[in-house]
Amino acid sequence: MQSVENEREYLASLLPERSALLREMRAAAALPESYAPIVAPETEQLLVTLLCLTRPKRVLEVGAAVGYSAILMAERLPEGGSVVTIERYKKHADMAVDNIFRAGLEGKIKVIFGEAAEALSWLDSGFDFIFLDAAKGQYIEFLPELLRLLNPGGLLVSDNILFHGMTGDDKNVQRRKITIVKRLRMYLEAITRHPLLTTSILPVGDGVALSVKKREEESARNANEQKD
Ligand SMILES: C[S@@+](CC[C@H](N)C(=O)[O-])C[C@H]1O[C@@H](n2cnc3c(N)ncnc32)[C@H](O)[C@@H]1O
């Protein structure tokens, strides 16, 4: 039996290898001159598993960066599936468009260049799966539009909600991050108490919240239970 000394390294060794393009993108995004934050590998595998489970047709991503997670998700959608991804930083949006073209997925992924709050306000509803991975302090501001855009039964996946250990422990909070932490805590309270959502928070990667939008009958049942 192979000896195992470090749990994180051991679990990382079990993650599947990605395509040559995704490996190249991850390596390039880690270079200081082109730094772009990309979903943590264990969160990436959670995303893949959730896509297998939910088989969404329409996916919305808030925060494309260079297009890594958009490509990962689009490759796993059923026939006719599509991804819309929003990015406000021009350099990242352009790199995402290039990478999506290299992946041959330009027919499946649409990149919207712009501020998410604005784009979310004009997008049509009907998404089965939303991956929220943009500025953490804005999650609370995005929530009403995300709820409008998500189909009943759809899944909202919010990344980095533990924010390097700061959300759950005041001792870890850096002074200049206080406002972001406060707003992330407001977001977590909102999604865990929202009557339309069933939420679970997982300490995977930098923390991931999974929120399912209730179907009408579930909302009605919950309302009746609260009256009783
Ligand atoms: C963590 S990265 C996204 C990583 C990407 N999902 C991946 O795993 O490949 C966050 C990105 O969101 C973008 N972003 C942050 N806040 C935004 C906003 N309000 N509107 C649009 N894009 C935003 C940033 O410019 C950055 O490129």
Atom of ligand 1 nearest to the CA of 39: 8
Q: Exposure pattern of 31-43 as b/e (b: 16+ CB <10 Å)?
A: eeeeebbbbbebb
159: Cβ below 6 Å to ligand 1? no
As a whole number, mean pLDDT of residues 5-19 equals 94
65: Cβ below 6 Å to ligand 1? yes
Atom of ligand 1 nearest to the CA of 87: 22
157: Cβ below 6 Å to ligand 1? no
Q: Where are the beta strands (DSSP E) in the chain?
A: 58-62, 82-87, 109-113, 127-132, 150-159, 197-202, 208-213
The packing angle between helices 20-30 and 90-102, to 10°, is 160
108: Cβ below 6 Å to ligand 1? no
Expressed in angstroms and rounded, the spacing between residue 92 Cα and the centre of ligand 1 is 9
18: Cβ below 6 Å to ligand 1? no
43: Cβ below 6 Å to ligand 1? no
**For the chain, what is the mean pLDDT?**
95
Give me the count of residues in the chain. 228
State pLDDT tens for residues 177-219. Answer: 999 999 999 999 999 999 999 999 999 999 999 999 999 777 7
Expressed in angstroms and rounded, the spacing between residue 132 Cα and the centre of ligand 1 is 9
Residue tagged 């590998």 (tokens): 41
Dihedral (Cα; 8, 10, 207, 19), 10-degree rounding: 130
Distance CA 136, CA 187 (A): 9
State pLDDT tens for residues 70-107. Answer: 999 999 999 999 999 999 999 999 999 999 999 999 99
pTM of this prediction? 0.96
CATH number of the structural domain 18-227: 3.40.50.150
State pLDDT tens for residues 99-114. Answer: 999 999 999 999 999 9
Distance CA 177, CA 180 (A): 5
Residue 53 CB partners (closer than 8 Å, separation 6+)? none
State pLDDT tens for residues 24-71. Answer: 999 999 999 889 999 999 999 999 999 999 999 999 999 999 999 999
State pLDDT tens for residues 155-183. Answer: 999 999 999 999 999 999 999 999 999 99
